[in-house]
Structure 1
Amino acid sequence: MARILITDDAAFMRMMLKDILIKGGYDVVGEAINGADAIEKYKELKPDLVTLDITMPEMDGISACQGIMDYDPNAKCVMCSAMGQQAMVLSALKAGAKDFIVKPFKAERVIEAIGKVV
């Protein structure tokens, strides 16, 4: 069972995503509230995959993805954002993200993206 770290500054978004992932048979090992927190928790928890919101205070998801990839080149990051902007998606993919999920989350799409990456 894949171990997942969820990163989002909005508690209700983390809760929604956690609910979808647990129902999908995944193990949510931790939650981070911003990019800096995500990097710290990644090092501590060593999850199989990290979901990263793009727009967060302190450190955004793209910078966090780069930081995680610098620490572990084999890391698997999936970006989540309400903004399906092309430039954001490209920056995220350049940073090393493996996939992109747009909010509001659709359970099937989340499970499909995570399943593909894990």
Structure 2
Amino acid sequence: MATVLITDDAAFMRMQLKDNLTKLGYEVVGEAENGRDAVEQFQELKPDLVTMDITMPEMNGEEALKEIKQLNSNAKIIMCSAMGQQSMVLDAIQAGANDFIVKPFTPERIEEAVKKVL
């Protein structure tokens, strides 16, 4: 069973992602509220996949993505963005993100992205 670390500053979004991923048979091993938290938990938990919100306090998703990629260049990361963040998504893809999903999520899109990345 693949393990996932969910990163989003909104508890509601983490809950929604966790619900969807659990139903798809993945194990959510951690939840982070910001990029700094995500980097720390990534080192500790070594998940198979990280979902990363782009806009967060303390450290944004793109900065966290870069730090995680420095720790492990093979890290699998799916960026989560709101509508209208295309340029940030492109920057994240160039920095090594494997895919992205746009809020509001559909269970189908989550499944498609995760299967593609893993």
Distance (whole Å) between structure 1 residues aligned to residue 92 and residue 83 of structure 2 = 12
SS in 1 for 2:58: coil
Distance (whole Å) between structure 1 residues aligned to residue 62 and residue 76 of structure 2 = 13
Instruction: Map 1:75-114; keep pairs closer than 5 Å.
Output: 75-114=75-114
Contact 1:84/1:102, CA 8 A, preserved across alignment: no
Name 2:35's counterpart in structure 1. 35
TM-fit CA distance, 1:31: 0.3
TM-fit CA distance, 1:84: 4.3
Distance (whole Å) between structure 2 residues aligned to residue 85 and residue 40 of structure 1 = 25
Segments of structure 1 that go 5 or more residues without pairing to the other structure are: none
TM-fit CA distance, 1:87: 1.0
TM-fit CA distance, 1:88: 1.2
Structure 1 ranges of 4+ moved more than 2 A: 83-86
Distance (whole Å) between structure 2 residues aligned to residue 39 and residue 83 of structure 1 = 25
Distance (whole Å) between structure 2 residues aligned to residue 84 and residue 21 of structure 1 = 25
Name 1:13's counterpart in structure 2. 13
SS in 2 for 1:43: helix
Distance (whole Å) between structure 2 residues aligned to residue 50 and residue 21 of structure 1 = 12
Contact 1:8/1:52, CA 8 A, preserved across alignment: yes
Distance (whole Å) between structure 1 residues aligned to residue 107 and residue 3 of structure 2 = 18
Scaled by the length of structure 1, the TM-score of the pair is 0.97
Q: Which amino acid aligns with 1:15?
A: M
Distance (whole Å) between structure 2 residues aligned to residue 5 and residue 83 of structure 1 = 22
What is the RMSD computed on CA atoms of the aligned residues? 0.8
Identity across the alignment (%): 67
- Deviation string, structure 1 residues 19-42 (Cα, Å, up to 9, x no partner): 000001110000000000000000
Matched residue count: 118
Contact 2:78/2:98, CA 8 A, preserved across alignment: yes
Scaled by the length of structure 2, the TM-score of the pair is 0.97
Q: Which amino acid aligns with 2:100?
A: F
Name 1:63's counterpart in structure 2. 63
